Amino acid sequence: MKVSGFTFIRNGEILGYPFVESIKSILPIVDEFVVNVGRSEDDTLKRIQEIGDPKIRIIESEWNENIRNDYSIGGFVYGQQKSIALFNTTGDWAFYLEGDEIIHEDDLEKIRETMEKYKDDDRVEALHFDYIHFYGNKRTYLESPGWYRTAPRIIKTTIPVWAPKGLYFVVIEDYKGGRYPKALPSGGRVFHYGYVRNEEQMQQKFDRVEKYWSNKKKEFNYGDIDPTILREFKGTHPKVVENYFPEADEVFKSNPEYVPTKKEVKRRWKAKLEKLFGGVDLSRKFYTKAEV
């Protein structure tokens, strides 16, 4: 069995992505790692080269800045860049991570075993992961049906598949369209640190990439979050990123004067329904369950 890791990144330093740590987190279980590096204004390319692992194969690309954000799919340029990396993988499985996602070393053996088990099972097209979305600091995570709890991150390369956006995959069924992949649990967790970088870096990110989704300027404030979804993280962080973020003594506190949006209120009701119906998961899925 051959496993390919893949990702895309641009201006990773400026925007505060732990992209080197992300790549390193799965190097032990992949046979190659394809990194699509967009032309950057910082040392993103140099830092990836300095990892010095022969498994890493770098592709350099130019982003299409002309894609309209009001046509059909917002953020399509992310799908383009993700697909460029995917289309250059050569393994039986392709393992995707974004630059702010880390895999825990405790999960690597189980993930590899799951790939071995279903490599030749045509009923299984992808493997999904449980997500831990950290927010504000490394001691706080979000628990809400508004934040996806699972997502596919490993896909078979033997099927016609691409990525219309950064988050998910589409399996092509015919010339007119496709569907989500049929997936089973990988046995692993994704530690998502996208909302732990400092506020200046977060605002830089919105200033630079929000144009791919909207023409409206977005102001970011960590305090503007529904306090009912903040939870204390009591587990261990992956060793590769253990000292990357500042230590935190307590759970992040939202702005006491913040008024939840209509969308957040709707998510509160969803959370109540989940509890009422015995823990049913109403968060969005980007896959269907594989029947095995």
* pLDDT recorded at residue 258: 94
Phi then psi dihedrals of residue 114, to 5 deg: -65, -40
| Per-residue confidence band for 214, with pLDDT thresholds at 50, 70 and 90 | confident
* pLDDT recorded at residue 48: 98
* pLDDT recorded at residue 237: 98
In 41-89 the beta strands, taken as DSSP E runs, fall at 56-61
pLDDT tens-digit readout, 220-273:
899 999 999 999 999 999 999 999 999 999 999 999 999 999 999 999 999 999
Asked if residues 162 and 170 have their Cβ atoms less than 8 Å apart, the reply is yes
* pLDDT recorded at residue 268: 96
* pLDDT recorded at residue 34: 98
Average pLDDT taken over every residue of the chain: 95
pLDDT tens-digit readout, 91-128:
999 999 999 999 999 999 999 999 999 999 999 999 99
Domain count, the chain: 1
Residue 29: CB atoms within 10 A of its CB come to 18
Here the CATH number for the domain that contains residue 47 is: 3.90.550
pLDDT tens-digit readout, 153-180:
999 999 999 998 777 899 999 988 899 9
In 39-115 the beta strands, taken as DSSP E runs, fall at 56-61, 93-96, 101-103
pLDDT tens-digit readout, 181-202:
999 999 999 999 999 998 888 8
Question: Is the pTM here over 0.85, yes or no?
Answer: yes
Q: 147, 249, 127: which is closest to 192 by C-alpha?
A: 147
| Per-residue confidence band for 292, with pLDDT thresholds at 50, 70 and 90 | very high
Question: Distance between CA 205 and CA 226 in Å, rounded?
Answer: 22
Q: Which residue has the higher pLDDT, 47 or 74?
A: 47
Question: Distance between CA 270 and CA 124 in Å, rounded?
Answer: 30
Full domain range(s) for residue 175: 1-292
What one-character DSSP code corresponds to residue 132?
E
Compute the CA torsion angle 194, 199, 205, 206 (nearest 10 deg): 110
Q: 221 vs 4, 143, 203, 231, CA distance in Å? A: 37, 19, 8, 19
